[in-house]
């Protein structure tokens, strides 16, 4: 790293120069140097040479100074990294095969344009017709010609894959950010490119007309270059086929909810039937009892069965009154948390409902008479329905979101259900990323694994913006200073940024702000692009289907549209705050389920 600094003329702080002096002891006395000092020096030098990586610098230095093998030394001029040299040699081999087939092979332009007959129905039909009539088809070929045609398209796909691989490797080597682990992936990447180029040109698309020759050849090259594109195409096809047979996520949630309600209702009916049988039995016992002692014994037995004394003694927690009180208490806690989120003007009806529910819970807990207890518990069960108090508030919110989302074909109820469901499914870091992206919250260091703003990105942006370069006048050889400049441009407000970097500017404050505006936007956009990439990969496919968005990009575009007006942004923030409060509660699973039920009921009211 010191050799790299000296070779490129990179300056460093005096404190780092002082640390470097510990190396004067030499290799023979390296054991006299405390390991913590070496680690601290290594970290400081790694920061100075950024964006270059210490491992990459070591690899390039080793490759340049190692003992050379006479023949392989001639290939060193191709690239300073062994893995990249192997890719270049494979590229040359692919070109040799491609030109050999093109020049010496038996292929005609028509055969190349038609592609492999097995995947081209028109050519197969011509060949079959020619066989039946005794003639020859223009696309007919023998086995050797078919082998040459396959070799032609495979080698062309490999050339496209090698081009993409070498292009990326060139950037990594030039910037000093080459990671040796990438070398092991180059063969896989080229193999995927060969397969994708062949599939794209022969299997996925059947082209007809005068453009067939140009189209198939270009598709093979394009498929090799963009192997990831073919993966996404095939993945979309699989998803489309799966969606035909899989149940819609929203219907699945509704079906599970209906089945749970049906089971609960059936259990209530069974308990009521058992209570009726007990009452009839008690009446028969009272009628048959001939003396007061027998009647008293029958009464005590009936009360024992009705009050659940035997069940309580056995530890059975399935008493319907107990279950009702527990559900009511959970609903009250849920409504209390929702009330903390809602504006005071919207929470009046919800507060009244919460007061009635809490009074009902207290009343039921203070009743000793079993008959009165059953009646009051039934009333309490009606009060405990979370759909009632919140349904109107959430329906109004969904109605305000419906207008902007209508042109995109996205259901506001589906979007809201997705937001609430992700609150329960995402981990802590993923949920913070999702929330920050949707609500356009300020950047925090833990949102991204690696900050995309580095010295190379800052220097590239300044090279494209001469006004910003003239206004800021950074030292291009000080990587740490460039890092600080880029991060400050994205993080600081206008006044703080001017105080830190604009005092030496010769013009006015307004001229400084205008000169650096584009640069600051570029720095923020770097983080926004990386955040979008992470957020889209963390959205499960069922959640995308639930929202109604055709793809993840359209989903983010819809959320950005909702941020443009204060009214829709307020509703979006309200929904996120409510989901976050339920996620952080001690009974998160219950609260999120109650919120989903309330949203489902609100959607039916808002979108009848």
Span 102-145, pLDDT tens digits:
888 888 888 887 777 777 655 555 555 555 544 444 455 788 88
Q: Do 288 and 339 belong together in one domain?
A: no
Q: How far, in Å, CA of 393 to CA of 347, rounded? A: 9
Q: Let me know: does 578 contact 445? Beta carbons within 8 Å.
A: no
pLDDT, residue 278, reads 63
Within a domain: residue 264?
Answer: yes
Give the other-Cβ count within 10 Å of 327's Cβ.
18
In 406-454, alpha helices (H):
412-425, 428-439
- Is residue 194 located within the same domain as residue 268? no
Residue 228 lies in a domain: yes
Q: Which residue among 361, 385, 409 closes a domain?
A: 385
The predicted structure's pLDDT at residue 498: 87
Burial of 282-299, coded b for 16+ CB within 10 Å and e otherwise, reads: beebeeeeeeeeeeeebe
Q: Are residues 170 and 239 in the same domain?
A: yes
Q: What's the CA gap between 359 and 409, in Å, rounded? A: 44
Q: List the domain range (segments joined by +) for residue 254.
A: 248-306
Shared domain for 340 and 371, answered yes or no, is yes
Residue 530 lies in a domain: no
354-358 — which CB contacts under 8 Å span 24+ positions? 354/389, 356/383, 357/328, 357/331, 357/332, 357/383, 357/384, 358/332
Tokens 């006299």, residue located? 32
Name residue, tokens 């927690």.
Answer: 317
Query: Do 188 and 105 lie in a common domain?
Result: yes
Q: For 446-499, what is each residue's pLDDT tens digit? A: 788 888 888 888 888 888 888 888 888 876 567 778 888 888 888 888 888 888
Residues 6+ apart with CB under 8 A from 32: 25
Position 255 scores a pLDDT of 67
Six-digit token pair at 109?
């332009």
Q: Could you tell me if 117 and 208 lie in one domain?
A: yes
CB 488 within 8 A of CB 497: yes
DSSP run (H or E) holding 596 = helix 588-606
Q: Which residues, other chains included, contact 574 with Cβ-Cβ below 8 Å and sequence gap of 6+?
A: 341, 342, 397
Residues 379 and 352 in one domain: yes
Contact 115, 216 (CB under 8 A): yes
Phi, then psi, of 388 in degrees rounded to 5: -65, -60
In sequence order, what DSSP letters do the residues of 330-381 get, joined into one string? HHHHHHHHHHHHS-TTT-HHHHHHHHHHHHHHHHHHT---HHHHHHHHHHHH
**Domains held by the chain: number:** 4
* pLDDT < 50: residue spans in the chain: 133-138, 207-211, 213, 307-318, 386
CA distance 202 to 222: 13
602 belongs to a structural domain: yes
Q: Which of 353, 385, 417 is the last residue of a domain?
A: 385
Place of tokens 């690696």: 450
């Amino acid at each position: 790293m010191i050799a790299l600094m000296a070779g490129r003329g990179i300056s460093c702080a005096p404190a780092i120069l002082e640390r470097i002096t510990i190396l004067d002891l030499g290799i023979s006395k390296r054991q006299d140097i405390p390991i913590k000092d070496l680690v601290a020096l290594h970290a400081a030098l790694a920061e100075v040479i950024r964006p270059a990586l210490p491992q990459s610098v070591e690899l390039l230095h080793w490759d340049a100074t190692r003992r050379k093998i006479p023949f392989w030394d001639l290939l060193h001029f191709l690239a300073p990294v062994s893995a990249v040299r192997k890719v270049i040699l494979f590229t040359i081999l692919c070109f040799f095969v491609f030109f050999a087939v093109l020049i010496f092979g038996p292929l005609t332009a028509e055969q190349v344009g038609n592609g492999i007959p097995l995947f081209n129905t028109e050519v197969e039909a011509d060949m079959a017709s020619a066989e039946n009539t005794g003639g020859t088809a223009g696309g007919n070929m023998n086995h050797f010609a078919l082998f040459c045609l396959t070799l032609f398209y495979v080698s062309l796909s490999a050339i496209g894959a090698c081009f993409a691989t070498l292009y990326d490797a060139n950037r990594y080597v030039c910037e000093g950010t080459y990671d040796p682990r990438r070398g092991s992936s180059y063969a896989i990447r080229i193999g995927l490119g060969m397969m994708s180029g062949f599939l794209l040109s022969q299997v996925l698309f059947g082209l007809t007309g005068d453009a067939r020759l140009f189209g198939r050849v270009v598709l093979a090259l394009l498929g090799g270059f963009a192997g990831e594109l073919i993966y996404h195409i095939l993945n979309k096809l699989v998803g489309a086929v799966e969606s035909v047979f899989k149940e819609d996520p929203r219907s699945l949630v509704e079906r599970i909810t209906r089945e749970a309600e049906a089971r609960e209702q059936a259990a209530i009916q069974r308990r009521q039937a058992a209570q009726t049988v007990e009452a009839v039995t008690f009446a028969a016992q009272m009628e048959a009892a001939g003396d007061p002692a027998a009647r008293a014994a029958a009464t005590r037995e009936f009360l024992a069965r009705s009050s659940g004394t035997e069940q309580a003694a056995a530890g059975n927690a399935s008493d319907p009154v107990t279950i009702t009180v527990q559900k009511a208490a959970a609903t009250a806690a849920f409504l209390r948390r929702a009330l903390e989120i809602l504006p005071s003007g919207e929470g009046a009806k919800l507060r009244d409902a919460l007061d009635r529910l809490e009074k009902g819970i207290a009343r039921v807990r203070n009743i000793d008479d079993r008959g009165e207890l059953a009646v009051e518990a039934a009333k309490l069960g009606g009060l405990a329905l979370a759909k009632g108090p919140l349904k109107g508030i959430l329906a109004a919110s969904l109605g305000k979101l419906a207008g902007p989302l209508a042109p995109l074909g996205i259901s506001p109820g589906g979007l809201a259900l997705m937001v609430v469901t992700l609150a329960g499914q995402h981990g802590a870091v993923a949920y913070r990323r999702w929330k920050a992206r949707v609500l356009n919250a300020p950047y925090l260091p833990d949102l991204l694994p690696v900050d995309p703003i580095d010295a190379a990105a800052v220097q590239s942006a300044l090279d494209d913006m001469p006004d910003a370069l003239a206004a800021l006048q950074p030292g291009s050889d000080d990587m740490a200073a460039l890092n600080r400049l880029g991060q400050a441009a994205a993080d600081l407000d206008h006044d703080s940024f001017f105080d830190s970097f604009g005092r030496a500017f010769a013009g006015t404050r307004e001229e400084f702000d205008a000169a650096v505006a584009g640069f600051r936007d570029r720095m923020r956009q770097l983080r926004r692009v990386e955040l979008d990439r992470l957020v889209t990969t963390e959205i499960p496919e069922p959640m995308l289907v639930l929202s109604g968005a055709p793809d993840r990009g359209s989903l983010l575009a819809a959320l950005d549209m909702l941020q443009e007006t204060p009214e829709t942004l307020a509703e979006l923030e309200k929904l996120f705050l409510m989901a976050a409060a339920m996620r952080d509660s001690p009974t998160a699973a219950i609260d999120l389920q109650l919120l989903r039920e309330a949203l489902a009921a609100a959607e039916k009211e808002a979108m009848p």
